[in-house]
Amino acid sequence: GESVGLHLPTLSVQEGDNSIINCAYSNSASDYFIWYKQESGKGPQFIIDIRSNMDKRQGQRVTVLLNKTVKHLSLQIAATQPGDSAVYFCAEKKAGNMLTFGGGTRLMVKP
Amino acid sequence: DAGVTQSPTHLIKTRGQHVTLRCSPISGHKSVSWYQQVLGQGPQFIFQYYEKEERGRGNFPDRFSARQFPNYSSELNVNALLLGDSALYLCASSLAASTSNQPQHFGDGTRLSIL
């Protein structure tokens, strides 16, 4: 498959550990945020979203935290598995339905 | 249920040519957005269409155009191709347009290479 993100920041974790991926967003008026996972040769896959009136949302093995004061978003993955290895993007919704994506973080899980 | 489908998966063109990329949204989704993803970067917004009307446009030249059909499928057209147009072109669909916060779901894209 084709590699996505050849020069991205990389987070390397041991299988079974928890992972935290961070993202700074740009617009204080953004009201909706999404985390996507992108594997090599594929399109971004929706993981979890959060509205600006919330500061935490949990899914299956994932938690998103939103700090509007410092415009910071994080994705926590519990008990990281080899299948979690991918590039992770945060995206913010500004005007209309347009998403603005961050630069991405590559997560590598060591068995 | 089928997700967002895009065709073709890969395409090779030469400078100056034009290209048409196609997208079928998830059944029931009425909004389609197009993004360009250059290797090593996040996707960049090109267009959004909802109910066959353009609802948003990113910072791309007029060589880029799109349309949405009555069945909500969409085409992205790029004229006078440049080397810098080489990228992965992603289509995303969502239930509605801008009035509600709905996640966009992406297809696997069309890899366009310009020689």
**Residue of A38, A73, A99 to mutate, interface with B, max B Cβ within 10 Å:** A99
Which of the 8 DSSP states describes residue A20? Answer: E
Which of the 8 DSSP states describes residue A3? Answer: -
- What residues contact residue B1 under an 8 Å CB cut-off, 6+ apart? B26, B27
Q: Give the pLDDT mean for A64-73.
A: 95
- What residues contact residue B85 under an 8 Å CB cut-off, 6+ apart? B78, B112, B114
Question: Using CA atoms, how far apart are residues B10 and B90, in angstroms rounded to an integer?
Answer: 12
pLDDT digits (tens, 9 = 90+) for B5-21: 999 999 999 999 999 99
Q: Are A66 and A31 in contact (CB under 8 A)?
A: no
Of B35, B98, B103, the CB nearest to A34: B103
pLDDT digits (tens, 9 = 90+) for A12-50: 999 999 999 999 998 888 889 999 999 999 999 999 999
pLDDT digits (tens, 9 = 90+) for B74-108: 999 999 999 999 999 999 999 876 556 788 999 99
- What residues contact residue A70 under an 8 Å CB cut-off, 6+ apart? none
Q: How far is B71 from chain A (nearest CA, A)?
A: 20
pLDDT digits (tens, 9 = 90+) for B45-63: 999 999 889 998 999 999 9
